[in-house]
Amino acid sequence: MSHIKELLAEFVFEELSDSEMAKARTHLQECVGCREDLARFQRTLGVLKTSSDLEPPRNVVFEFEKPASNRFWRWFPATAAIAALLLITVALIGRVHFQWRDSQLTIAFGQPIAPAQADQTAELAAELQRVKGYLAYLDNRQQAVERDTVVIAARMQPGVQAQRSPGD
């Protein structure tokens, strides 16, 4: 039989069947841990039986006895005060505008964010990237032409010198 920790109360109050009680007694004779748990349970039960029943004070109200509406009204003044403070702060600062575009949050105080201006900025940024790419292409092309010119000039130089030498 496995440990009887879950069945201790039923064992002590003899609520188990006869066969289960016999198995539990056999297990208790063999298992020291379960015997210690049973002794603790019986001591606790003895203390509870000998202690007098106490009546809770009349001013104690248990949480499950409270109506649900009281919980709402308990937090309402604080929530209302925070909301009013937030509104006053926004009014004193001025207009606050929020814009979420292209995974970017923009917060503006005062005048609203012009969507056309944002679109124009994006278009200008794209045009700037395109122009930078074209300039890089032209720069590479110019360097290639200069290299080719130097190579051609180096090849032509011996022939030009040979033509000048005999006649000079």
Q: What is the pLDDT of residues 105-152, one digit of tens each?
A: 777 766 666 665 667 788 888 899 999 999 999 999 999 999 999 888
Give the domain range for residue 139. 114-168
- Domain count within the chain: 2
**pLDDT value at residue 166:** 61
**pLDDT value at residue 67:** 59
Provide mean pLDDT across the span 58-75: 63
The verdict on residue 146 lying in a domain is yes
The verdict on residue 73 lying in a domain is no
User: Average pLDDT over the chain, rounded to whole?
Assistant: 80
151 or 159, higher pLDDT? 151
Q: What does the alpha-carbon distance between residue 152 and residue 155 come to, in Å, rounded to a whole number?
A: 5
| pLDDT one-digit tens code per residue, 23-47 | 989 988 998 988 999 999 889 888 8
The verdict on residue 27 lying in a domain is yes
27 by DSSP, 3-state: which?
Answer: helix
Check pLDDT > 80 for residue 69. no
The verdict on residue 23 lying in a domain is yes
The verdict on residue 30 lying in a domain is yes
Q: What backbone phi and psi angles, to 5 degrees, belong to 107?
A: -115, 125
The verdict on residue 76 lying in a domain is no
The verdict on residue 135 lying in a domain is yes
